[in-house]
Amino acid sequence: MTDELRKGLEGVLVAESDLSQIDGDEGRLIYRGYAIEDLARHASYEEVIHLLWHGELPDADRLDAFTDSMVAERSIDEDVLETVGQLAAADENPMAALRTAVSMLSAYDPDAGEPATDREATFRKGRRITAKIPTILAAFTRMRDGDDPVEPREDLGHAANFLYMLNGEEPDDVLAETFDMALVLHADHGFNASTFSAITTASTLSDLHSSVTSAIGTLKGPLHGGANQDVMEMLKEVDESDRDPVGWAENALAEGRRVSGFGHRVYNVKDPRAKILGERSQELGEAAGTPKWYEYSTKIEQFMADEKGLAPNVDFYSASTYYQMGIPIDIYTPIFAMSRAAGWIAHAAEYVEDNRLIRPRARYTGPEDLTYSDLDER
């Protein structure tokens, strides 16, 4: 057993996985052997969930059956909806509201008592969680704004149905396709912090709802899931300032501020997901006649490459993409969770197949050889 200290477990191998692979030097991401570029441009989110959970892309009949099984689980219990409404009325943080509601789902899941080692039951629970998160998030957002929640539709895909429940209007094909692509891009990404939280919880043989709740709590942290919201706030600040994007970035760095959306613990080059979302951000801006968000982004990207040698991560272009779709800025991270649920569930199920309790050590650096003294002598 080594005593080498690796802060943050950086570079430490703790398990093997068939789910996703990242090449940080080449800027490559694959899900079960498929390049993310191919999946994002050609596969639906439902196909990708099936790939992650069942190891293969489905044929047409299996995809129909899988999609129908997801659609059947979209509605949430009235008690859950009431709680979501109470959280909305209290102006709760959207990620905290999602965390609470997902935890509550276990009370109404018929498989809640099944052991973590029951793979089929795990995926039945996973199907319900994944199908209900969009309903929870859309209802929370609408109720917070004083609007009634919108019931899910059975004739829309996962991505289009969320946008429908969020806005009360069926999205056009471009918006639905763009959002579906974003969900595919965020579905899995190796042993990131939230995925590792899900796996750690699963390793105790706790229930799947606890694993997903743990992951949501981890993703809530600004060092993990909040950068896309920060990026859009930054771009809006640029727009409202009297500086061009490069001048704004120069001033921000001079003031010791962080330019959001750059750098990654794994990628040493541009995140491949950022490339794809950048293209979509540009297309949306041109179609709407508002190319400024993409233009601001590209200028800041070039400046950060020249000044700091940093490349953008997935959050940098997802921000302007979501904004141009009319999605509220503070639900960007919950949308991340909505997509990543597929990966969390896949990893939790995979890990317990060859389970070992995750139990790292810490190096003690405190005092030694102290002698206890009675209370009246201290």
Annotated catalytic sites, by residue?
Answer: 264, 315
Look at the alpha carbons of 47, 50, 51, 55 in this order and tell me if their dihedral is positive or negative.
negative
**What pairing do the DSSP bridges indicate for beta strands 34-35 and 28-31?**
antiparallel
DSSP state, 156?
S
User: CB under 8 Å to 124, separation ≥6 — which residues?
Assistant: 111
Using DSSP's 3-state secondary structure scheme, residue 22 falls into strand
Nearest to 342 by CA among 139, 92, 39, 28: 39
d(CA 312, CA 298): 10
Contact 46, 70 (CB under 8 A): yes
Contact 363, 320 (CB under 8 A): no
C-alpha atoms less than 13 angstroms from C-alpha of 171 in its C-beta half-sphere = 23
